[in-house]
Chains A and B, each alone.
Chain A
Amino acid sequence: MSVTSNDPKHVDAATGTSTTGHEWDGIRELNTPLPKWWLYIFYATIVWALGYWVVYPAIPLVSSFTKGAINYSSRGEVIADVDALKAARAPMVNALAKASFDDIQKDPKLLTFARAQGKAAFGDNCAPCHGTGGGGSKAFPNLVDDDWLWGKGTLDDIQATITHGIRSTDPDTRQGNMPAFGDGVLKATEISWVADYVRSLSNLSVDAGADLKAGQKVFAENCAACHGDNAKGNQELGAPNLTDQIWLYGSDKVTIVEGIAKGRGALMPNWGDRLDAGTIKALAVYVRTLGGGR
């Protein structure tokens, strides 16, 4: 193979190599031949490409494409990868499903695995309501603080809440309602008194001329049954502690009045139907690390 050109032939004096006939500002391009093997490798790549067309999916058809001899698909590769990952994790997943919380706490490997697994499951299932870091929002409890609405924040309590939910359809669900006192039980003025009284328990400012005495009386008659005589709440019923600085719905008077008048009853699904026991255990372990379980 060679190039033919009509330009006058020129040979470079220094190297004895002919030039391509191209010249830029007196600089000529040497026509150094490539090695033959380079050419053969080029042909080999063409053959390789033909083989590739046969072996792999290659040519688009009207509604499909050629599947190739080994029936490869990138989707199939992902599925194989996920299966391989599941197989690799299987021993730890099985160990986690069988282990008690005590076992998990004692085995650093299992604990690390449970935390990682729990973090991933939290992001997939819990974050939409509780926030990615468990910070919560109005009506959705903050899981990072030191206050527990239901149970004492032990691993077992957390596991029970996740499994059965709150006010869910699960027969073992956590139950407890804040009734609507505005439906003929309490008058608007009484609701105002008790709202002021409740704010005073947390050292929040109250309206000038608020009748705290009257509020206390209304509280003792209507609220103490669930929230306790000292208003410290009841974690069996999900009745919040009204003396601390943590407010699920908000601490302003309007919000408190609204809660008393219309009632409250946010719902958490029972995850026992959707997640396996091991994942719920991992979630409990992870959630406990968020706030330290206190």
Chain B
Amino acid sequence: MSVKQQQAREAELEAIGLDAPLYASRAKIFPAAVSGRFRNIKWIILCITLGIYYFLPFIRWDRGPNAPSQAVLIDMDHHRFYFFFIEIWPQEVYYITGLLILAAVALFLMNAIAGRLWCGYLCPQTVWTDLFFAVERLIEGDRRTRLIKDNESFNLETFAQFLLKHWAWLMIAWWTGGAWVLYFSDAPTLVYQLATFQGPAIAYIWIAILTATTYIFAGFMREQVCTYMCPWPRIQAALTDEWALNVTYRYDRGEPRGSLKKNDVLREAGKPAGDCVDCNACVYVCPTGVDIRDGLQVDCIQCGLCIDACDNVMDKLGRPTGLIGYDTDINVKRRESGLPALKTRFVRARTILYAVVMLVVGAIMVGVLATRHDSGLAVIHDRNPLFVRLADGGIRNAYTVRLSNKLPENRSFEIRVDGFAADFVASTEGKRADSGWPVLVVGPDQTFEERLFVTIPQDAMAKGEHHDDDKRDITFRLIDLRSGSQVQVKDHFMQPHGEKK
């Protein structure tokens, strides 16, 4: 806004004695179809992301007879998350934390490299809205047709189109909701149940909820979600820097804008004239209705469609493309002041930092995943009483042990306690291995709780074989009888103070 415009608007407001209204009506947006490089990229990403979302639950993955055969499954009933060869138990939910950290830093890294890549190409809000736009244009026509229809009242044809559009939208929304619930149950079974009206109520409820949100968000809320509901544009604006590529109107080349003829006249007269012919093609194709020539703005999702629109116009005029393009703030400023543009610096402190954080978090996750054990042992020492004296004068401690078997088969484990003879370690069940140590059997993909008794017998006490301390460290070893793999847990053995005869 020029100083003149600013003063004019101020005077205008002064005259009516009012500020701007508190609430603004929404401007109607009728984005025009466009073709070009970024449009093609968006189609490809749309197909890939929606393809993954809709079909992933149907991919099978054989885990044997005791586990579900769905590649990706969130099994709420049994508290398991399956992802191809990975099975996550509830206590391993820190993997999700790791994934969230990776996702957040990936978002920052994308932003440091090329702005709102997430918003423009990958965000579900963008992808579904894009699909809904495509359906809308297919049924009701492109921008020009829809603008005309918008001013007319319904006739039979437009009403039929209106019904068809909303039906198509609802079908997409319904399929979206339907695919969602398939991630929580065996997909083919659930599809059959749903189709024969035998599905669980919770499935229908979630389908209804996601059908409604998809229909409302992609059909009606659209750019309002990005502008008013999403926090990322605000965070993104705070994280960007002058080296990040952003969808940019190169005003150093475009301004002063003017019609083709007017600017030709100016140019011949040796006066400054820009390449922008003010055709508004960039505004017409914008899904959020912004004018990219106003510079970087919070409403712009940087989807690149204005680049396609402008390039098409420049091609027709025989001028070089790229009046709108991915560019850095620093280069626009340099060219404006007559300096040559610099090469885009992808490697800089910011991107290195993000990449290192991602590498470290990723490496930790892979490391933990690769080294995690297929069995687990948790030991809780009895709190009351801490120890008991036995009839013969020996001292016994009791522990509650919980074994977890993360393999889909029955497994027998031997449980050993270092520094004790096998005879003086016993379970309630009393089963023992050939080695004499107690044996516990755990079902496939299950946990098993048992009480374990560890005793220092009277004669050992008499011989002074025990420690003088009230508390000594002991180690429990859980050994898989078949594979020999073992896990260990440290705990304590308690005895009366100063007990020594």
**Interface check A73, CB cutoff 8 A:** no
Inter-chain contact B23/A3, CB cutoff 8 Å: no
A1-21 vs B: 1/0 string, CB under 8 Å?
111110011110111111011
- Residues from chain A with a CB closer than 8 A to the CB of B398 are 144, 290-291
Inter-chain contact A14/B19, CB cutoff 8 Å: no
- Residues from chain B with a CB closer than 8 A to the CB of A10 are 10
Inter-chain contact A33/B390, CB cutoff 8 Å: no
Please report the C-alpha to C-alpha distance between residue A36 and residue B390 in the assembled complex, in whole angstroms.
78
Inter-chain contact A20/B19, CB cutoff 8 Å: yes
* With A145-B388, A245-B393, A246-B389 as contacts: A18 and B20 at CB distance below 8 Å: yes
Interface-facing stretch out of B1-9, B97-105, B239-247: B1-9
Please report the C-alpha to C-alpha distance between residue A5 and residue B19 in the assembled complex, in whole angstroms.
8
Inter-chain contact B449/A112, CB cutoff 8 Å: yes
* With A288-B428, A289-B428, A293-B428 as contacts: A135 and B23 at CB distance below 8 Å: no
**Interface check B42, CB cutoff 8 A:** no
Inter-chain contact A131/B385, CB cutoff 8 Å: yes
A275-294 vs B: 1/0 string, CB under 8 Å?
00000000000001111110
Inter-chain contact A3/B19, CB cutoff 8 Å: yes
B415-431 vs A: 1/0 string, CB under 8 Å?
00000000000101010
- Residues from chain A with a CB closer than 8 A to the CB of B116 are none
**Interface check A65, CB cutoff 8 A:** no
Inter-chain contact B23/A144, CB cutoff 8 Å: no
Inter-chain contact B14/A135, CB cutoff 8 Å: no
Which of B11, B383, B390, B453 gathers most chain A CB within 10 Å?
B390
* With A13-B3, A147-B390, A245-B393 as contacts: A4 and B19 at CB distance below 8 Å: yes
Please report the C-alpha to C-alpha distance between residue A115 and residue B384 in the assembled complex, in whole angstroms.
17
Inter-chain contact B19/A145, CB cutoff 8 Å: no
**Interface check A266, CB cutoff 8 A:** no
Please report the C-alpha to C-alpha distance between residue A17 and residue B294 in the assembled complex, in whole angstroms.
13
- Residues from chain B with a CB closer than 8 A to the CB of A1 are 21-23
Question: Which one of B10, B11, B391 contacts A145 once the chains associate, using CB atoms below 8 Å?
Answer: B391
Which of B3, B10, B23 gathers most chain A CB within 10 Å?
B23
Write the nearest CB–CB distance from B349 to chain A, whole angstroms: 29
Question: Which one of B6, B228, B428 contacts A11 once the chains associate, using CB atoms below 8 Å?
Answer: B6
Inter-chain contact B14/A241, CB cutoff 8 Å: no
Inter-chain contact B23/A35, CB cutoff 8 Å: yes
Write the nearest CB–CB distance from B460 to chain A, whole angstroms: 15
Inter-chain contact B21/A33, CB cutoff 8 Å: yes
- Residues from chain B with a CB closer than 8 A to the CB of A147 are 390-391
Interface on A for B, CB 8 Å cutoff?
1-5, 8-11, 13-18, 20-21, 31, 33-39, 108, 112, 115, 131-135, 142, 144-147, 241, 244-246, 288-293
What are the 9 A-B residue pairs with the smallest beta carbon separation, nearest first? A135-B385, A133-B384, A244-B391, A33-B24, A9-B13, A245-B393, A145-B388, A16-B1, A18-B20
Interface on B for A, CB 8 Å cutoff?
1, 3, 5-6, 9-11, 13-14, 17-26, 224, 228, 382-385, 388-393, 396, 398, 426, 428, 430, 443, 448-449, 451, 453
